[in-house]
Structure 1
Amino acid sequence: MVDHGWPLRFGLFLPPEAGAPLVEIAQEADRYGLDLIGIQDQPYLHDHVDMLAVMGTVLAVTRRVRVFPAVACLPLRPPAALAKTMAGLDVLSGGRVELGLGAGGSPDGIASYGGPRLRTGEAREALAEAVQIIRMLWSGQHGLDHDRGQYRLEGAVPGPVPAHPIGIWLGVSGPRSLEVAGRIADGWVGTTRFVPPHRLAAALRRLDEAALQAERHPAELRRIYQLHGRIDESGSRGFLYGPVEQWVEEMSMLALGYGIDSFLYAGDPDRLGTFALEIVPAVRERVARERAASARGRRPVLQ
């Protein structure tokens, strides 16, 4: 694996639980200077506020942080309607929206809300098709038709055009889905739960190989990683379960050794300040130092 040199970004993974102080947490992330807020999308959960409602609210009460679905449940978010909503939110927020998109991780939950129960291959094909449709609708062209696969367009007139080129980041973990992401996506969203560190190298290798086969440079893809763990000063209990120094070391390793460029904190919101004010600047400083050393011809050495 290689460090592709992207500027590092840090953010928050936000499950939209109805009982949580979502507005206050989002505003705190914005005040701390975090770059991203990724909002979970599982609309079939009874205790979750709808992701799109949370996105609109968060964008309205923050000033600089970028907001995206982490990741949108495609079977319950038809691509044409999703493209319209994301473009509108981007315009209204002054260009602070990105799009994380997934094939849907709970067939039973999706079916309970009237969505299709797709086989794995069908879901993967629908995801690739949705990326194509969304990009068509963001292009500003009129009279768009699409008459194959899972979705249809018949003379669609899109608009508004997004305020900036919205990235489409695919949240996938299976080998063939990673190949789809490598071929067509602007980025990949992974999580330590589904792609833990011991599987990360193989996943990123498949992503990079698919990009090369599609005549793309792997560095074109952003790599976003959700960090499920606990900041715990009492000692280490495994990857990202330990003190600040351990988080700094392990996140620096993810950036320099695996090319992860964007990190979403998915731990206890009460420790968000520790993450943003202690861990983030230390990781930035360490990665900058090691990149500078590497540019001078020395291999980065993690201590």
Structure 2
Amino acid sequence: MTLSIFTSYGKWVPSFTALFSILSFLQLPEDSIQQSGGEILVTTFVMSLIFQLNIYRGAEVKVVNSLGGIVVCIIMLNGYPKDGITETIFEYTMTENILQFVYASILGFVIGQMYVNIVKFDRNLTVVAILFYSLFLITGEIETESSFFVIITSSMIFGILPYFETLTSQKIGTGDGRTLALGLSTLIGIVIIFILTFVSVSTENRIGDGSGAFAVAMWLTLGVSTIGLGGMLLPIAGFDQHPRPEGWGLRISLSLSPMLLSFQTDLVNHILLGVIIAILISISAPLVIEKKSSKPTQ
């Protein structure tokens, strides 16, 4: 999907991803849905259908395919077992399998909708996705210590972000102090990410609350900051439609950074709170720091 952005034939690529996913699932035993491999295939199937439906309705093909391809790749690499689907000693009823299939399908809808929001924000479907996400957290369907929790939470941040971007864009207008607002909010955000990550990591028995926690918090913060600062270069690549494109690139990249870092460590869930607060500070900084321009616009 991601590579299809370099061609003009990417309109139906998500359909092929969906087809291959569901065909792979249908070749497995019916109780494979109870394992992470089967669940991931169903989730990917529904996600790809969401991408295809929105492309058919006019969403930007290259944006949806590039983001969708990256997310599908990350989910498959993180969630699909290296040894494939194995036989288990447990027996599941048809009802249990159907319920698990529905659960995996809803996850696919939630994640897929979040990435479609970047090009076509749908408030009603977003509210539904948030409700499902909250329900799964409350009922314990999503384990907060798992990498999948990081992926879906990172996706939720990414998908909700356009709503707040629209609200602030309508109010900031043109003003003085843009550089100060961007630099100060970025610096404060990085400091907050480090502090909250350090406090959270200190609760890990295997890390401790001393130099180990400091080192882990430091390199996690470095990873997130590097990805976020790299996103500030997106305007150079042509993503400059936002009134504050550098800040927008920073926030988009920060929201994706936990998911990308989940490849490297299972401690990445400790940075989520810091990332959320850093994004909120970055969004609100222009409203607080920037001043209305005293010069009349031409």
Please state which band the TM-score falls in when normalised by the shorter chain: under 0.3
Instruction: Tell me the TM-score normalized by structure 2.
Output: 0.25
Which structure shows the higher helix fraction? 2
Q: Higher strand proportion, which one?
A: 1
